[in-house]
Amino acid sequence: MCRVVTAQYPSHRHAAGRARRLVTGALAQWRLDEVVGLSDAAALLTSELVANAVVHGAGPIRVVVAITDGSLEVGVSDLHPHPPRVRAPEDRLNQTAPPAGSGSMQWVREGGRGMLLVQHLAEAWGTSPAAEGKQVWFRLKASPWLYAAACDCAEAGPNRLRLGSGRSVHEIPPP
């Protein structure tokens, strides 16, 4: 069976922490916390996407967490239509000179690494336009997972939810 959970948060500094708890809670409930490294990577990347939506996006933030075909997919939507930008490493250097007496230290911006993390850690990631705004999503391999063979999501069905990557899952009512 495929599994999916969704939540919506106001664009606020606490949204990333709430989204992390949503992801780690869903993975624990689905027994995916047993897959080494998956929960940590998913929480980190979700936090980065939600923080990006808070800083650069607009409106409420919607988070979709789904497991389908042996992969975990997390999507973060906001109302801003423009996709995130992956900055090159040299873009992280400040353009202003360091203060006098600072020695030879290079001053590096605090932000700007989130999408680089997503790009390097995710199996796949992308941006999909939405009716209002966009969804930025990532996919992580969820194997070995005990229930992966039973996780087959067909395209047809009345309770189908289309993920940002184009994959589909069936929404399952909570127990």
Of 120, 50, 47, the C-alpha closest to 87 is 120
The string of pLDDT tens digits covering residues 95-105 is 555 556 555 54
The secondary structure element, H or E, covering residue 64 is strand 61-68
Q: Is residue 149 part of a domain?
A: yes
75-102 per-residue burial string, b: 16 or more CB within 10 A, e: under 16: bbbbbbeeebebeeeeebeeeeeeeeee
Q: Is residue 92 part of a domain?
A: no
Q: Is residue 97 part of a domain?
A: no
Give the pLDDT confidence score for residue 142 in this predicted structure: 82
Q: Is residue 95 part of a domain?
A: no
Asked which of 31-45, 78-92, 151-165 is least confident by mean pLDDT, the reply is 151-165
Q: Is residue 90 part of a domain?
A: no
Domain of 125 in residue numbering reads as 3-83+113-170
pLDDT at 80 over 80: yes
The string of pLDDT tens digits covering residues 152-166 is 555 555 566 667 676
pLDDT category at 131 given cuts 50, 70, 90 is: confident
Q: Is residue 19 part of a domain?
A: yes
pLDDT category at 114 given cuts 50, 70, 90 is: confident
pLDDT at 167 over 80: no
* CATH of residue 149: 3.30.565.10
Domain count, the chain: 1
The string of pLDDT tens digits covering residues 13-27 is 999 999 999 999 999
Tell me what the mean pLDDT of segment 8-16 comes to: 93
